[in-house]
Structure 1
Amino acid sequence: MSRIAFKMKLKAGAKAEYKKRHDEIWPELAALLKCNGISNYSIFLDEETNTLFAVQHQDGASSQDLGTTEIVRKWWAYMADIMETNSDNSPVSITLEQVFHLD
């Protein structure tokens, strides 16, 4: 199992809505993530820059690699109004390099 981190960008003023939507994550989306080996998934917000910082454990593809599934494409469309996105509604996502880890 590996751990990855990436960052995304939230639109200004969208913190409460972003949190609400994730508090109510669709059960079928959560199940898809788990079935694809994604666990211990956390997202943090830097409010000064509206940067979202995500960390997840994966045993296979990352959550960003599941964009070929219908449920992920629907989630991306649902989130597109509050995040910076690509033309296919996927979040603009930048993989981060791990430079330190303390176990």
Structure 2
Amino acid sequence: MKMNIFEKKALYSFGCPNHEATVDRLQMIAVIAPDYETQKFFLGLAIKLDTDDAKRWYQCFFRTLREEMESYYDAELTMKLAELSTYDMEDEYGEANEV
């Protein structure tokens, strides 16, 4: 099953190892979402996961998704920290070059 990063983030946030509970939760989120596009997104994700085939492979998929997303968030944090440290270094080098 192909999923974009937004769908993966939604499952990381709202999913659980129980397939039926995850589908029900996504449908409930779609019902209470204030925005039409958000409703459409969560309902589409619920429909995508609500198949007979998905019941068989969902637990393994969810475990893999959790590991993948934890690595993604770690890499995102590393990029932000690198960006901040580079910004600080540019200020120091900029002051030294002006003299």
- TM-score norm. by structure 2 comes to 0.27
**Bigger strand fraction:** 1
